[in-house]
Amino acid sequence: MRIGELSQRTGVSPRSLRYYEEQGLLKSSRSAAGQRHYPDAAVQRVSLIRQLFDAGMSSRVIATVLPCVDAPSDLDVAEETFVAMMRERDRIDAEIAHLAETRDALDVLLRANSRHRVALSGAGEPAAQPA
């Protein structure tokens, strides 16, 4: 199938499909006129690539995970994929911790702002207090 049909069947833009190829995530053959042609299996592969992107993985990480799909019985590939996924999970955990620290710092500022608003209004407690 040509790139337009793959795009239509997957809901992924031709531009994104070309990017996937540039990153080594997707392969096509070329016609004599230079048009891209994809096998039917490309629909499932693009779906998997989208799931991995949606999970927050970068194209670099996806490129290290996909060989496990291509060679599922290769222990070395499975080990490399495991290491890559653990690294990605650790990165996400660190990002979550950083976001929690940022949220906690914002809560401190919100409480200070609430006290300041109360002092300025001369009223009692403000209507909304952060958790």
**Residue 45 burial (CB count, 10 A):** 20
The string of pLDDT tens digits covering residues 38-97 is 999 999 999 999 999 998 889 999 998 898 888 888 899 899 889 988 998 999 999 999
- Angle (deg, nearest 10), helices 3-10 and 14-22: 110
Q: What is the mean pLDDT of residues 97-118?
A: 96
Counting every residue written for the chain, the total comes to: 131
Q: pLDDT tens-digit profile of 3-44? A: 999 999 999 999 999 999 999 999 999 999 989 999 999 999
Give the count of alpha carbons within 13 A of 2, CB side only: 5
Higher local confidence (pLDDT), 40 or 125 = 40
Tokens coding 70: 């291509």
Hey, what domains does the chain have and what are their CATH numbers? 1-54 (1.10.1660.10)
pLDDT for 131 equals: 61
